[in-house]
Amino acid sequence: MSIRSSDTPQASDGPAQNAPEPEAAERVTVALNMPADGVPDVTVTERGLARAAEALAAGSGPVAIDAERASGYRYGQRAYLVQLRREGSGTWLIDPIACPDLTPIGEVLSDVEWILHAATQDLPCLAEVGMHPTRLFDTELGGRLVGLPRVGLAAVVEHYLGLTLAKEHSAVDWSTRPLPEPWLRYAALDVEVLVQVRDLMADDLAEQQKTPWAEQEFDSLTRFTGPPVRLEPWRRTSGLHKVRNRRGAAMVRELWRTRDALASDNDIAPGRILPDAALVDLALRSPKTEDEIGQGGQSRVSRSVRRYQTEWFSALERARQIPEAELPALTVRSDGPPPARAWAERDPVAAARLIQARAALGQFAEEHRIPVENLLSPDFLRRMLWVPQQLAAEPTPEAISAALLKLGARQWQIDIAGPIIDEAINRPLAPVAAPAAKPPVKPPA
């Protein structure tokens, strides 16, 4: 399916869309700079929301959906604008701050296929406002499965339609009110041609006999609720590796918790309250008085800490008062296998299994033009091969399949990776020799 010139949204001057496609080296793209029906008004009332639901219900075919967040500006990942487009109903821009319950929209679209790009980014914030898909098509994930070299929305649209999307507003503060017209135009364009892209990508999936793979992947996304909750999220602080003792780790933890509470109370992204670099700098300096909080360190760090220096000092004092036995561990043991680079030394047999399985998966991925990480999560592969006797009394193909399913692999992944893992466990190659120890460096004479 291709877009005819009469179907094409308004674009800058360029070749007609029904002209023969030139050679790849000479391909000319057309800028997509205005929605076909213009920029719609933003829906901000319950009455407007009812009209949107009625129009979307009367439309036909799948619905293209996108959401804009204020990452880096506001606390959390809530949606600040939701865009929808369906054949026969046009494009709708809805303000979920003015209309926080979009259940009426979710209900009329409950049996409709949703088209999203990078669905895992938007599904959690859409669920917060009452929208849950039962069927979907992810054009970012689909692009990976068909072997596109670049899978960002702009790259995918250009690949299939020869249209370029401007992305200059992708990182703006979408909590701004009122939203500027250029931002709204950008937002509307994000759903303008998703249906056409979906249809062409579906053709590619079918031609490459990957439709069953995509269907299983998309079905699993309908149950996606967000990344797993971390028990100790403060350990994700950038620069934490600079802290060399448990007391310092406690200071990072208390500062992190204080920053998170301030960010939540003020609805500001934590990094705007205090950057990670400033937080770690405070923990390392460990100022002994409140006046020292804003002294020393980089100038930008000093500016960042002065506003809440009482709170930062209180956090540091709490960390100083923690009994030694109750201090957090400097590092925590993972429930998974060690890093692959350590396998040859710790278990040469397991290292051989991993090399063998990786090579086979890599060859399959190359032959089928698919990223190897989409064939099977690297974490799943390591867990399966590090201590395979944990799978069952005997690592049979059935036990391997059951273990992969329990980890979360889809059936198509199990069908491909299961025999490769079985081969690596039950018919392995020679063990990998541990790297030879480096000779000691002789001091200069």
* pLDDT the model gives residue 354: 96
| DSSP code at position 274 | S
Classify domain 340-426 at the CATH topology level: DNA polymerase; domain 1 (1.10.150)
Please, are residues 69 and 174 in contact by the beta-carbon 8 Å criterion?
yes
Rounded average pLDDT per 10-residue block, the chain, 445 residues? 37 39 62 93 98 98 98 96 98 98 97 98 97 98 98 96 87 96 96 98 98 98 92 96 97 98 97 94 94 71 83 97 96 87 93 96 98 96 88 86 95 98 90 63 59
> Beta strand 79-87 with 60-69: parallel, antiparallel or unpaired?
antiparallel
Q: Do domains 24-221 and 340-426 have the same CATH topology?
A: no
Q: What is the pLDDT of residue 228?
A: 86
pTM for the whole structure: 0.87
Mean pLDDT of the chain: 90
Predicted local confidence at residue 433, as pLDDT = 64
Tell me the pLDDT tens digit for each residue of 370-418: 999 999 999 999 999 998 867 767 899 999 999 999 999 999 999 999 9
Give me Rg for the CA atoms of the chain. Answer: 27
Alpha carbon 441 to its chain centroid, in Å, reads 45
Whether the CB-CB separation of 39 and 185 falls below 8 Å is answered with yes
Domain ranges of the chain: 24-221, 233-326, 340-426
CA dist list (Å): 105 to 115, 121, 132, 133, 377: 15, 19, 10, 11, 34
**pLDDT at position 118:** 97
- Long-range Cβ contact pairs of 103-109 (< 8 A, separation 24 or more): 103/130, 103/131, 104/49, 104/50, 104/53, 105/49, 105/52, 105/53, 105/56, 105/130, 105/131, 106/130, 106/131, 106/132, 107/53, 108/53, 108/54, 108/56, 108/57, 109/56, 109/63, 109/133
Region 233-326: CATH code: 1.10.150.80
Query: 24-221: which CATH architecture?
Result: 2-Layer Sandwich (3.30)
Listed residue (304, 386, 279) closest to 337, CA to CA: 386
